[in-house]
Amino acid sequence: MPGCVFVPTMGALHEGHAALIRKGAELARHRGRACIVSIFVNPTQFNERSDFERYPKTLEADVALCREAGAEAVFAPSVEVMYPDERSAPVPVLPRVAVEPGLEDRFRPGHFAGVCQVVLRLFRLVRPAAAVFGEKDWQQLRVVAAMTREQGLPIEIIGHETIRDPDGLAMSSRNRFLSAVEREAALAIPRALHAARRARTATEAETAMAGVLSGVDVEYAVVRDAQTLANVGNGPARALIAARVGRTRLIDNAAWSP
Ligand code: AMP
């Protein structure tokens, strides 16, 4: 639907997704256009087959949530529609922010190739004027914005702040896998981001985060330049965390300033 406002998701929708859809629907209304949500669990962006296979699928409830949040249509394609052949769904040249920071690119090799492939394919099928992505996946937001620019696509990439549960945990389709004990342990992640805020330097912030995260299996807990995700410079910065709690991998981030 050319000119629409687009919200791509993998389904198992929660209030975080609903907020993105509400924003998309509002923008669409102002422009006299439709808000379209896609639901597609993209096999090419998963590193572990088991993670892909156990990804929750709740299509009926998802469609109801989309309707309530103001979407005009849901696009839920099959793998065959998305990936008929290699020419229809090429992996674009990856932007630097997808391969250099040593964050998701390091711990989930191949992940951003899959993300760029599916987003490019979706953009070509849906032809939106704008697309809304969550800040919860900060590196992904930066990667999609860079790829869209580098591919010369006339699509505005809009970020939406992270929606959290009342206890501070960022909402995620994967939170449903956490036991009560694991959920309590996972709260170290938002607490670490909070602790980082009181630090005067990026190094101090990283030390503070490591201290709070001692009980979980940390992949990274760093402060980086918010745009490039390279080492902090003079511009805005972001604190970013990835950690495993039991079998569940969680990510979160927050704006950081000295
Ligand atoms: P996913 O279905 O996990 O691929 O997420 C689809 C979109 O929703 C992505 O742009 C995510 O960044 C965004 N999203 C997921 N969780 C949240 C959240 N808690 N707050 C805001 N956006 C989110």
For residue 202, report the distance from its CA to the centre of ligand 1, in Å: 26
pLDDT value at 174 more than 90? yes
Give me the domains of the chain, ranges plus CATH numbers.
Answer: 5-160 (3.40.50.620), 178-253 (3.30.1300.10)
How distant, in Å, are the alpha carbons of 8, 44, 83, 89 from that of 80?
18, 13, 5, 11
For residue 234, report the distance from its CA to the centre of ligand 1, in Å: 28
pLDDT for the residue numbered 245 = 97
Q: Who contacts 20 (Cβ-Cβ below 8 Å, separation ≥6)?
A: 7, 9, 132, 133, 134, 160
With the most atoms of ligand 1 within 8 angstroms of its CB, the residue from 17, 21, 160, 167 to mutate is 17
pLDDT value at 209 more than 90? yes
Q: Is 81 strand, coil or helix?
A: helix
Q: Who contacts 164 (Cβ-Cβ below 8 Å, separation ≥6)?
A: 170, 171, 190
The H-or-E segment that residue 98 falls in is: helix 96-99
Answer yes or no: are the C-beta atoms of 187 and 132 closer than 8 Å: no
Residue of the nearest CA to atom 14 in ligand 1?
Answer: 134
pLDDT for the residue numbered 1 = 82
Model confidence pTM above 0.85: yes
Residue 187: what are its φ and ψ, rounded to 5°? -65, -15
Q: How confident is the model at residue 250 (pLDDT cuts 50, 70, 90)?
A: very high
Answer yes or no: are the C-beta atoms of 242 and 257 closer than 8 Å: no
pLDDT value at 86 more than 90? no
C-alpha span between 246 and 138 (Å, rounded): 23
17 among known catalytic residues: yes
pLDDT for the residue numbered 258 = 87
With the most atoms of ligand 1 within 8 angstroms of its CB, the residue from 7, 9, 44 to mutate is 9
